[in-house]
Amino acid sequence: MLDQIQSVEDIRSLSQADLKDLAADVRADMIESVSHTGGHLGAGLGVVELTVALHHVFETPRDRLIWDVGHQCYPHKILTGRRDRMLTLRQPDGLSGFTKRAESEFDPFGAGHSSTSISAGLGMKVASDLSGEDERNVIAVIGDGAMSAGMAYEAMNNAGALDSRLIVILNDNDMSIAPPTGAMSAYLARLISGKTFLSLRDIGKQLTEGLPRFFKEKAAKAEEFARSFVTGGTLFEELGFYYVGPIDGHNLDHLLPVLKNVRDSAQGPVLIHVVTQKGKGYEPAENAADKYHGVGKFDVITGTQQKAPSNAPSYTKVFGQSLSKEAAKDDKIVAITAAMPSGTGVDIFEKDFPDRTFDVGIAEQHAVTFAAGMACEGYKPFCAIYSTFLQRAYDQVVHDVAIQNLPVRFPIDRAGYVGADGATHAGSFDVGFLASLPNMVVMAASDEAELVHMVATAAAHDDGPIAFRYPRGEGVGVDMPEAGVPLEIGKGRMIKEGSKIAILSFGTRLSEALLAAEKLDGYGLSTSVADARFAKPLDKEMILKLAGEHDVLLTIEEGATGGFGSQVLHILANEGALDGSLKIRSLTMNDEYTDHGKPDVMYAGSSLDADGIVKTVFEALGRDVNEAAEAGEIA
């Protein structure tokens, strides 16, 4: 059936029986594709029938279909002209793992972070109405996890106040809001979304218009209560949405009539509550604890994922284990995560200290201020949030933590390039936006052993907020300490002494800096290497010494321009270290939003590898490294 689909118009012409066959084909096609590329599997499997139904009922792309986060959009991509490119998913120059405006007209809004769909959808609907295109439908599909974020409710409150005809589909795939649904529930959903019920409701409203305000309000409340009694949608009704559901999201016999009723009604904002199952239709995913949320390449028959042999522990694991060790010595240490316990390593801590672990849901703003409140009472909160998600709580970091100088600890995972998740998940900006804040301490681990010490440093630091960043993936394989030892705040360390070139590294590019130093030594350019450890406060003494005793100074970091290098340049300028003959260069991530690919290739593209460092040194000296090699200028 899927082979016959050349466009979405073909989907709209299918019978209900054919749609069921199409859904089965899409599910099989998606499993096959992701087995070769890796990616988000469970969420997409859970919305196959819903995706088919939406494209059958609505006139996409004229009708706007917005997927919150976008990680569940693989079936959507298969059905909207991208099936032949699914094997390029999350690969260099291939399809994005999320929705992306530049990729297709069927992706009206780009995503990657959660809880944005209702706000964006409301903006599109209001803009369409202002342009006289009020017949356009706008549909936002949002998961129950994403509904834990305040932004979703801000948008719903605004939509209710505007009485805008926005359609929100709540994809409840954890059954955290409603139990499994059956035939009676589906019948009631069809009934209350149908024209007959809505017409009777409007007649009732007209009849009560002439009544005194007290009776009119009581009549409205009675009608609302009657529907809420059978549906449970009271909260959404209070926000101004007409609630329909819950209905079985895998049963097209239930889905199609409700979607058609809502499409054909002139009702204001509507919320359709759909219950689905992550990993639906693929037994290994259904049986897995995480429903195969994110997977590597895998065997379709067995579900076994391919994993490269591990040479060193992951930074995430090292953090989780180190935090548990510190917490065993200090009962004031608590861990906070925003719906990412396994991604941040907090799940490791949770096994040892479940009563001191707090998963607040997808609510980064709340997580930071919640941590601030705990710090007020003498606790030592470690608020573990990815770099890219900490952006969402910046005002709280400034207003609720830094201004009050509260000792909240910020472990920042996913620093630097993250590979297949692309620009929306890259840890690019945290050094820049944190190091600009008074009272903030900002550290970066150069290897997994240093991370152990930085966890200990954060645990011991009670004088104000402190952050430490580390990348995704494995460490470099260094010997691990038995226990963490607090570092002296604002002090870096010399790794290698030289006389002509100085490389000042912040973060895990240190290993590449050492490789570059070896190559530069071979060219007769004696090279020093230092590990800054701190972007704020900087080791002023060490930096001025490097600047005063070398011809060239390079800073290198896994972050965007405006971060560590900018802090170093600021000190050098104010101290007059740039007034003489010193040549200085700052190596950062490229000043662009970098799409998905392999991190090693991304770092090389930003000259953040050994060859890029060597090339930059030669350019600073006005020479060409290739010409030097050809001339045999190797000592």
Tell me the DSSP string of 178-226: S----HHHHHHHHHHHSHHHHHHHHHHHHHHHTS-HHHHHHHHHHHHHH
Q: What is the pLDDT of residue 72?
A: 94
Domain range annotation of the chain = 2-285, 320-469, 493-630
Active-site residue, 133 included: no
| Residue 113 is assigned to a ligand binding site | yes
Q: What is the DSSP letter of 480?
A: P
Entry pTM: 0.88
Q: What's the token pair of residue 564?
A: 């560590």
pLDDT of residue 147: 86
**631: which residues sit within 8 A by CB, 6+ positions away?**
none
Residues 6+ apart with CB under 8 A from 29: 2, 78, 83, 86
Q: Within 13 Å, how many C-alpha atoms sit on residue 49's CB side? A: 25
Residue 204 marked as a ligand binder: no
Do the first three CATH levels of 2-285 and 493-630 match, i.e. the same topology?
yes
Catalytic residue (one of 49, 326, 350, 364): 364
Residue 230 tokens, joined? 């059978």
Residue 41: strand, helix, or coil: coil
pLDDT of res. 630? 66
Per the residue annotation, which of 280, 392, 414, 469 is the catalytic one?
392
Question: 331 in helix, strand or coil?
Answer: coil
What pLDDT is stored for residue 505 in this prediction?
98
Q: Which residues contact 484 (CB under 8 A, 6 or more apart)?
A: 322, 325, 326, 452, 453, 454, 455, 456, 457, 459
The helix or strand, by DSSP H or E, that contains position 294, with its residue range, turns out to be strand 294-295
pLDDT for position 294: 85
With residue 169 as reference, give the H or E element that holds it: strand 167-172
Strand residue runs (E) in 440-521: 441-444, 466-469, 493-496, 501-506
Does the annotation list 150 as a binding residue?
A: no
Q: Does the annotation list 114 as a binding residue?
A: yes
Let me know if 278 is a catalytic residue: yes
The CATH topology of domain 320-469 is Rossmann fold (3.40.50)
Class of domain 493-630: alpha beta
User: What residue spans of 312-363 are helical by DSSP H?
Assistant: 315-329, 341-344, 346-352
From the candidate CATH numbers 3.40.50.300, 3.40.50.970, 1.10.3720.10, 3.40.430.10, the one assigned to the domain spanning 2-285? 3.40.50.970
Euclidean distance between CA atoms 635 and 619, whole angstroms: 19
β-bridge partners, 40: 294
Q: Which of 165, 278, 356, 380 is catalytic?
A: 278
The answer to whether the annotation marks 144 as part of a ligand binding site is yes
* 364 assigned ligand-binding residue: yes
**Torsions phi, psi of 247, nearest 5?**
-130, 160
The reply to whether 223 belongs to the active site is no
**What is the predicted pLDDT for the residue at 623?**
87
Encoded amino acid at 59, one letter = E
HSE-up of residue 479 (Cα within 13 Å, Cβ side): 2
Cα-Cα-Cα-Cα dihedral sign, residues 359, 361, 363, 366: negative
10-residue mean pLDDT series, the chain (635 residues): 94 96 97 94 95 97 96 96 94 92 95 94 96 94 89 93 93 58 51 54 51 54 47 72 89 94 88 92 88 87 82 93 97 96 95 96 95 98 97 97 98 94 92 97 97 98 97 92 96 97 97 97 96 98 97 97 97 95 96 90 95 96 78 57
Contact 352, 323 (CB under 8 A): no
Question: Phi then psi for 425, rounded to 5 degrees?
Answer: -115, -5
The 8-class DSSP code of residue 281 comes to: T
Read off the tokens for 40: 């988000």
- Counting beta carbons within 10 angstroms of the beta carbon of residue 34, is it exposed (0 to 12), middle (13 to 18) or buried (19 or more)? buried
Rg (the chain; Cα; Å): 28
